[in-house]
Amino acid sequence: MDTSTLRPVAADEFAISRLLHAARALVWQAWTEPNHLKRWWGPHGFDIPQCDMDVRVGGAYRVVMRSADGVDFSLTGEFREVKPIERLVMTMDCTEHPPAWHDLVRANRAPGDDNPAGVMTLTATFDNLGEATQLSIRTRFESAAIRDALLKMGMLDGWSQSLERLDTLVVHESGAADRHILVNRLIDAPRERVFAAWTDPAQVVQWWGPRGFRTTSASMDVREGGVWRFTLQGPDATIYRHKLVYDAVLAPERLVYEHCDDVPDGPIHFRSTVSFAEHGDKTYLSLFMLFPTAARRDQMVRDMGTIKDGNQSLDLLQEFLARA
């Protein structure tokens, strides 16, 4: 993993990282080709009527974001470093943003102070995880006060929404649009606490599964190649035996596992990737389930209620953490 994702965040920096469920080359393409970037850049409800990019060292770009009420927020800058599919460094200048936005950055700004946010420098790194990409974004500001002002204005939520849109786009472009289920949730607990609740058998049995079900763990070995065997008992006392085989365990950031019935030669139902991203003092949790075929995905949704059950499990996780 790129060590830049491991450095402490300085007082004049903002950092955010997300696991994106597509290969690195596709994520790079979505970031550097105007027709792709226009489909995800900006928070929910924003459109991009204009996007011009000359992705080379010294090349310029201009992106116009338009809010749902028709207000334009134009962003300009240049590319300082371009290392294809690995690293991108670019400046960000918000001078063309509306005056009301600048007033929020610095109240009572002096006449002629048309860009109190200054020129920011954004570094995006794309870490190759095979079928997935760890995207890490760091933005440096001219002062800690500017960073804090933008955080107060909702920068963290804005970037989170943009990356949700980016993940949806790259999953679609990867050809997995009809084979996956993606559930995101902002959990009101620190990342280490959420990861522990997902991997400690004594805690998992207190929330895992849909409402009305009871979970019993037979064994839980959370390591690469390890197996978790458990049973779910339904409201009608029916017993369902399950087995998870861990393909990757990176505490407290990510889990990858195959989900199948705990019977001899039981079929693999789907592959799950669970990512835990810091969101201030909360955790942005992403549960991505990829099925072998679209028909299998549709069957699991129709016959097993997989989407409903996944959402209920995350509801129960939040409730467990709130009372723990």
What the chain holds in terms of domains, given with CATH numbers, is: 3-173 (3.30.530.20), 180-323 (3.30.530.20)
Assess contact for 51 and 63: CB atoms under 8 A: yes
* pTM for the model: 0.89
Q: Please tell me the predicted confidence (pLDDT) of residue 197.
A: 97
Task: Give me the pLDDT at residue 263, please.
Answer: 67
- Between helix 155-173 and helix 144-152 the angle, nearest 10°, is 70
Phi-psi region of 27 (alpha: psi -120 to 50; beta: other; left: phi over 0): alpha
Task: Give the E-state strand segments of the chain in sequence order.
Answer: 13-20, 47-53, 60-66, 72-83, 87-93, 119-128, 133-140, 180-187, 214-220, 227-233, 239-250, 254-261, 268-279, 282-290
pLDDT in tens, the chain (324 residues): 333 334 568 999 999 999 999 999 999 999 999 999 999 999 999 999 999 999 999 999 999 999 999 999 999 999 999 999 999 999 999 999 999 999 999 998 988 899 999 999 999 999 999 999 999 999 999 999 999 999 999 999 999 999 999 999 999 999 999 999 999 999 999 999 999 999 999 999 999 999 999 999 889 999 999 999 999 999 999 998 889 999 999 999 999 999 987 766 556 689 999 999 999 999 999 999 999 999 989 988 998 888 898 899 999 999 999 997
Spatial contact of 153 and 273, defined as CB atoms under 8 Å apart: no
How confident is the model at residue 8, as a pLDDT? 62
pLDDT at position 204 is: 95
Residue pair 197/204 in contact (Cβ under 8 Å)? The answer is: yes
Closest CA to 254 of 222, 293, 279: 222
**Residues whose CB falls within 8 Å of the CB of residue 174, separated by 6 or more in sequence, listed in order:** 21, 22, 23, 26
Q: What is the pLDDT of residue 4?
A: 32
For the chain, what is the radius of gyration of the CA atoms? 22
Tokens 């996944």 — which residue?
310
Give the per-residue pLDDT at 151. Answer: 96
pLDDT at site 59: 98
pLDDT value at residue 5: 36
How far does CA 323 lie from the centroid of its chain?
26
